[in-house]
């Protein structure tokens, strides 16, 4: 799917296993924390009077089965829904265990992106580490039961989940989920103290759109959610979204400045990589700086 050199090296990272009990972050809203383990997302479980919603599955069927077990433990015999923040494997490639056990809901762009890129990303993620390959060995791509355009609302019984398609940004089909206007799940549109993942892998995947990503983050900041659940990293507040927006604005401006001054793509990437590591010294995965700068420079992020 993309050159191995373009991917962060996670070969020595802990196994990408969803572990631990769900933590209550608001009334009826739980998160299984990622523990800052690579390829483990924050998983959401939202419980209403008659239904429950699971948000993201983890990488592969074993993680999906664990998430389903935890959801059943919290939800009892309530009807289950499953949705994913975007199609990337660590967020949605455990969905197969939910088939028949839950109503799977994606936006139309998610389904399309899964069809176009799912097999390629499956192969790419298997190559990231032996542990990732193990989790994905029996992974199957599954279609949703329900597809929506624009936005969809799920009544869980005294608790409402609003699903909204906001891509292209991080991917062509990003989705945010807002629970009762207070708890926002945003997938990899924002992460806590991690450089934004810009999957710019020409010619295979150039759908990342940094300019639109900034606009989406502006819209999400305006929601002023009390609790913000990132794709990876600790649960926080709206300041988390501002941090990611400010970084992307900085990168876009620096690319424009350096390109206007005659710097080549390689020169621009090198300069921004050095400067960003200094400016955000506590953020993890600086490998993504270079890909982001190149995406802005070459037009993969407008």
pLDDT in tens, 108-144: 999 999 999 999 999 999 999 999 999 999 999 999 9
With 80 as the cut, is the pLDDT of residue 6 above it?
A: no
pLDDT digits (tens, 9 = 90+) for 80-106: 999 999 999 999 999 999 999 999 999
Question: Phi/psi class of residue 20: alpha, beta or left (left: φ > 0; alpha: ψ in -120 to 50)?
Answer: left
pLDDT band at 10 (very low <50, low <70, confident <90, very high): confident
The contacts of residue 77 (CB under 8 Å, 6+ apart) are: none
Position 299 scores a pLDDT of 79
pLDDT digits (tens, 9 = 90+) for 282-301: 999 999 999 999 999 997 55
Q: Which of 24, 101, 27, 26 is nearest to 57 (CA)?
A: 101
Average confidence (pLDDT) over 172-191: 98
For residue 201, the surrounding DSSP H or E stretch is: none
pLDDT digits (tens, 9 = 90+) for 223-255: 999 999 999 999 999 999 999 999 999 999 999
How buried is residue 37: exposed, middle or buried, by Cβ count under 10 Å (0-12/13-18/19+)? middle
pTM score, whole prediction: 0.95
Token pair, residue 110, equals 């998610």
Average confidence (pLDDT) over 205-213: 95
How buried is residue 298: exposed, middle or buried, by Cβ count under 10 Å (0-12/13-18/19+)? middle
The share of the chain scoring above pLDDT 70, in percent, equals 96
Q: Which of 201, 133, 129 is nearest to 171 (CA)?
A: 201
Position 289 scores a pLDDT of 97
Torsion angle, CA of 241/247/253/254, rounded to 10 degrees?
-170
Q: Where are the alpha helices (DSSP H) in the chain?
A: 60-75, 89-92, 108-126, 130-136, 210-223, 239-260, 265-279, 287-298
Position 3 scores a pLDDT of 46
The contacts of residue 150 (CB under 8 Å, 6+ apart) are: 107, 164, 165
Return the domain boundaries, the chain.
Answer: 6-238
With 50 as the cut, is the pLDDT of residue 4 above it?
A: no
The sign of the dihedral angle between the CA atoms of 184, 185, 189, 193 is positive
With 60 as the cut, is the pLDDT of residue 2 above it?
A: no
Match domain 6-238 to its CATH number in 3.60.15.10, 3.40.50.720, 3.30.470.20, 1.20.5.510.
3.60.15.10
pLDDT digits (tens, 9 = 90+) for 39-51: 999 999 999 999 9
Q: Which of 89, 122, 82, 88 is nearest to 106 (CA)?
A: 82
Position 13 scores a pLDDT of 80
């Amino acid at each position: 799917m993309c050159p191995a050199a373009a991917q962060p090296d996670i070969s020595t990272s802990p196994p990408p296993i969803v572990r631990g009990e769900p933590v209550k972050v608001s009334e009826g809203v739980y998160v299984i924390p990622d523990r800052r383990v690579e390829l483990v997302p924050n998983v959401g479980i939202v419980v209403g009077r008659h239904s429950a919603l699971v948000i993201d599955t983890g990488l592969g069927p074993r993680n999906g089965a664990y998430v389903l077990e935890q959801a059943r433990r919290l939800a009892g015999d309530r009807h289950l829904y499953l949705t994913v923040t975007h199609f990337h494997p660590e967020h949605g490639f455990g969905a197969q265990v939910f088939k028949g056990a839950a109503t799977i809901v994606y936006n139309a762009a998610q389904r399309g992106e899964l069809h176009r890129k799912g097999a390629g990303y499956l192969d790419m993620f298997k190559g990231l580490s032996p542990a990732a390959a193990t989790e994905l060995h029996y992974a199957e791509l599954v279609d949703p039961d329900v597809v929506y355009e624009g936005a969809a609302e799920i009544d869980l019984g005294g608790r409402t989940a609003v699903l909204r398609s906001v891509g292209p940004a991080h991917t062509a089909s990003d989705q945010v989920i807002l629970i009762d206007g207070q708890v926002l799940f945003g997938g990899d549109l924002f992460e806590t103290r991690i450089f934004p993942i810009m999957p710019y892998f020409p010619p295979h995947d150039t759908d990342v759109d940094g300019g639109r990503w900034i606009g989406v983050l502006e819209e999400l900041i305006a929601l002023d959610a009390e609790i913000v659940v990132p794709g990876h990293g600790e649960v926080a507040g709206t300041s988390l979204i501002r941090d990611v927006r400010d970084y992307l604005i900085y990168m876009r401006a620096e690319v424009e400045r350096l390109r206007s001054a005659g710097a080549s793509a390689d020169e621009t990437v090198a300069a921004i990589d050095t400067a960003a590591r200094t400016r955000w010294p506590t953020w993890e995965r600086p490998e993504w700086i270079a890909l982001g700068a190149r995406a802005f420079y070459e037009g993969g992020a407008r």
